[in-house]
A and B are shown apart, each in its own frame.
Chain A
Amino acid sequence: MNNPVLLIIIPLLLAFVSVIIKKAGKWILLLGVLINTVLAFFITTGETIIGGFLPPAGINLVVTQFTLVGVILINSLMLLTIIMSIDLVGKYSVILLTALAGINGMLLTGDLFNLFIFMEITVIAAYILSAQAKKYHHTITYLIIGSVGSTFYLLGIILLYHLTGSLNMADVAAKLPLLTTKELLVPILLIFIGIGVEVKLLPVSGWVKGVYAHANRLIAPLFASIIAGTALFVFGKLFVSVLPLSDTLTMLILVMSVMTFVFGEFAAFKQKQVKEILLFSSIGQAGLITALFISGLVYAAVILIISNVVSKLIMFTIAGAFTEKYQTDNYHSLSGVFVHNKITGIAFTIAALSMTGIPLLIGFYAKLNILIGFFHAGNYVLPVIVLLMTIVEGAYIIKLLLALWAPGKEGQVSLESFAVEKKQLLSVKNTAICLIVALVLIVGGTLIDTTSKIVTNGQPLLGDESPYFIISQSKGGE
């Protein structure tokens, strides 16, 4: 019952079923997502062979604590997104199910080429989904950049196969240190660019603005939290436990991810549309997370991914609702929208404040661990950058929140009459879900020990030994 391969097979099976029964597509999708989430809670760490051939020849699914966290997180978020936007699914149930299969495959697989295939499945599903906004030139741009990226990735794996004779991650990881860094440079570089396109590192992610900015209430959270989250987990697995990076390469990648972080936040600071602010902020956060993975702070990166993914889910759903109900998401023309729907506003505010790292929210816990991790690693420059960017992020988030909460021109006390006309943003069901998810952010941020127990339950993630913040430490001498 707890065999991880079910997570991939069931969605695929249901995808074919829903092709046959066209009109019940929605409910099959819901069923598939539900089963997957339930299963995700039952799988245990370990290795499962698929197709009878023993690795390194055959492919296997490797479930470590790191992947377990990823699978549970991504599947439950997928469930939430689908429940919240069930009405928008329409004829996309087949594609969403295949995407679900692809995502679980990417997280679980232990074989490089198998990872390529599942990545392709997910990316193709993403191309089709992004076409929902009828902006085909953005979809084509995404398709071309995506295919160039995956070709680079494919070339990279083949070179690795050529050098090490195997495609199994564990086996490759064992053989790579024996080779000289000169030989390894090109394949690792190719893989980095291939994954980088998907993880949204800045120079190589030109497609993000076009696709995210026009996504609706279903697709936007799908892209921003689920596909982005998976890509980050895959990046972490590859670059921490599989590919050894030489010093210069680490430095270069670190520079690139910090550049992504800084430029992402600055670009977000400039935007006027809610979705564009959020998409550039997620690019920025992706840069920070890759920087954390590269410098080996896996625990801090995982907590940051959780905080980011969850808060982006809420914010993108609500941003999608903005365009749906008010046909615009420019926050000046939406001023005072939360006056009419307070609870949605509260959920949005909690998610936003968690992103800026206000205490007693999980975002703050993530920032704390980032600082402790970097200081422990003796790196004093990056914490300064992280804190400066938090100020920039806090600035544009608060500017956004103030515009949405308090209507009225400068020098005028804001009154309900100045607000934009009254419309129900989200259905009661969705508002309730958003609020519950927001409360998870609070609980996760306050009961820090339970969070860290759930995430790591004891073992260090991917061999990351650096210390992280737990309550007993703060007791000091007592």
Chain B
Amino acid sequence: MIRLASLLLLLIGLYGVLTTKNVIKMIISINIMELGVNIFIISVGFITNGVAPNLTEHIDSSLSNFVDPLPQALVLTSIVIGLGITSLGLAFARKMNKKYGTYDLTMIGGMKDE
């Protein structure tokens, strides 16, 4: 079920990128897409009524079924990377706006862009 939700989010993100002309909206839709993928990563490691995978001295590791810790580690990095790209994109969008006065990519195509 979560996987369907994440797939849907991915498609919404893609749709967003395809249809908007405004750069800010594009970056937002990429965020949605990345969100979808992150949720999917989490869902890969999920086991119904599993236990959080932190070893403490009084829990016997062989008995309880731990949720798979690896995707959770991966998702952390992926979120950080998503953050990095979004901030970079917004910075460039602001500079573009300052230079060309618009957020609309198609408008810039025709201007003095030799």
Contacts and interface: CB of A to CB of B under 8 A. Distances in A.
Interface of A: 57, 113, 117, 120, 124, 127-128, 131, 134-137, 139-141, 143-144, 147-148, 150-151, 154-155, 158, 161-162, 167
Interface residues on B, range: 20 to 34
Contacts of A124: 84-85, 88
B20 to A, nearest CB: 11
Contacts of A162: 44
14 contacts: A57-B70, A127-B88, A135-B113, A137-B96, A137-B109, A140-B96, A143-B92, A144-B26, A147-B34, A148-B14, A148-B30, A155-B40, A161-B70, A167-B70
A137 B105 contact: yes
A136 B92 contact: yes
Contacts of B41: 154, 158
A154 B78 contact: yes
B92 A140 contact: yes
Interface in B49-79: 70-71, 74, 77-78
A151 B82 CA distance: 9
A154 B105 CA distance: 27
Given A128-B88, A137-B100, A148-B17, 9 more contacts: A137-B105, A140-B26, A144-B26, A144-B89, A147-B30, A154-B41, A155-B40, A158-B37, A158-B40
A47 to B, nearest CB: 20
Nearest to B31: A147
B17 A137 contact: no
A244 B22 CA distance: 40
Contacts of A57: 70
A80 to B, nearest CB: 28
B108 interface: yes
Nearest to B113: A135
Contacts of A135: 113
Contacts of B108: 137
A31 to B, nearest CB: 27
Nearest to B94: A136
Given A134-B99, A135-B113, A158-B44, A143 B33 contact: no
A235 B85 CA distance: 23
Interface in B11-39: 14, 17, 23, 26-27, 30, 33-34, 37
B98 to A, nearest CB: 9
A161 B45 CA distance: 10
B96 A113 contact: no
A303 B96 CA distance: 41
A140 B71 contact: no
Contact of A131 (B34, B85, B92, B105): B92
A135 B95 CA distance: 10
B85 A158 contact: no
Given A124-B85, A148-B33, A139 B40 contact: no
B77 A117 contact: yes
B84 A151 contact: no
Nearest to B95: A136
B71 A155 contact: no
A158 B88 CA distance: 25
A128 B109 CA distance: 20
A139 B108 CA distance: 13
A161 B96 contact: no
B38 to A, nearest CB: 9
B81 A120 contact: yes
A223 B67 CA distance: 42
Contacts of A120: 81, 84-85
Given A137-B100, A137-B113, A140-B93, A151 B44 contact: no
A144 B17 contact: yes
B17 to A, nearest CB: 6
Given A141-B105, A158-B44, A136 B96 contact: yes
Contacts of B96: 136-137, 140
Contacts of B89: 140, 143-144, 147
Contacts of A143: 85, 88-89, 92
A391 B78 CA distance: 46
Contacts of B37: 151, 154-155, 158
Contact of A147 (B71, B74, B85, B93): B85
